[in-house]
Amino acid sequence: MFSIQKSFPFAYAHRVYTQDVNSSMAQGDGENTCKHIHGHNGALIVSVSSDHLDYRGFVVDYKELGFIKSFVNKYLDHKLILGKGDPLLKHILPKDYYLEEIDHLGIYKIKTKENIDLVFQEFLNGITIVDLVPTSENLAQWCKYQFNKVLLAEIEAKNKSLAENTVFINSVGWSETNSTTAFSLGIC
């Protein structure tokens, strides 16, 4: 088995509206600070694996992971990531809003029936809504699933016989800080 790893840094904010800290495990500091909107300078750490190297001697060329950088830039970097079920949404979104899923990704674009002011539209464009509670663990698994779909489609388009070199995303780590990373491992 061969594996490569690449890091994709980005800045983002989120809110974990389900946080309920166990005070005894937190040594008395049971404040639920992640329930507030807060920001991070984080990174995705993506590990790509294969049983065999390709004809070039690669698992994949690092440049071929550009689709991950594009995904990060479009949906994660400098975005406020909120869960679709977050009760805060009804208080910060326009009265006549609705959510429209983007390309079966589990990402929702905020739409409104009324014309809204350009400054408020800019605010809405800075929000990524996902169909999960945006914890590091959930986001790592969600990204891993999305990236494997893209990678598999690319490989199938280029090489119908996957038996020779099956490439897959082995793990995705979602790092909130320099000292914390949640990983999604194995097949999902």
- Number of domains comprising the chain: 1
SS (HEC) of 79-135: EEEEECCCCCHHHHCCCCEEEEECCCCCEEEEEECCCCCHHHHHHHHCEEEECCCCC
- pLDDT tens-digit map of 129-168: 999 999 999 999 999 999 988 887 776 676 654 445 688 8
Name residue 107's beta-bridge partners.
130
Q: How large is the average pLDDT for residues 66-77?
A: 96
Parallel, antiparallel or unpaired: strands 167-177 and 79-83: unpaired
Residue with tokens 């990174």: 43
Residue 42 scores a pLDDT above 50? yes
List C-alpha distances in Å: 114 to 87, 111, 123, 138, 161.
22, 9, 16, 33, 50
Q: What angle is formed at CA 172 by the lines to CA 65 and CA 37, rounded to 5 degrees?
A: 110
Q: What is the DSSP letter of 9?
A: E
**CATH number for position 51:** 3.30.479.10
Token digits of residue 39: 């920001």
Residue 56 scores a pLDDT above 50? yes
Domain residues for the domain of 32 are 2-185
Residue 24, pLDDT score = 63
Residue 28, pLDDT score = 59
Residue 33, pLDDT score = 77
Residue 162, pLDDT score = 45
pTM as predicted? 0.87
Residue 82: other Cβ atoms inside 10 A: 24
Query: Which of 4-13, 21-30, 93-102 is predicted with the least confidence, judged by mean pLDDT?
Result: 21-30
Residue with tokens 């194995």: 186
Residue 118, pLDDT score = 85
Average pLDDT for the chain: 88
Residue 165, pLDDT score = 60
Token digits of residue 100: 């429209």
Query: Which of 26-30, 34-38, 46-50, 52-56 is predicted with the least confidence, judged by mean pLDDT?
Result: 26-30
In angstroms, the CA 6 to CA 60 distance is 11
DSSP helix/strand/coil, 176:
strand
Residue 31, pLDDT score = 66
Residue 150, pLDDT score = 85
Residue 167, pLDDT score = 87
**Is the distance from CB of 131 to CB of 108 less than 8 angstroms?**
yes
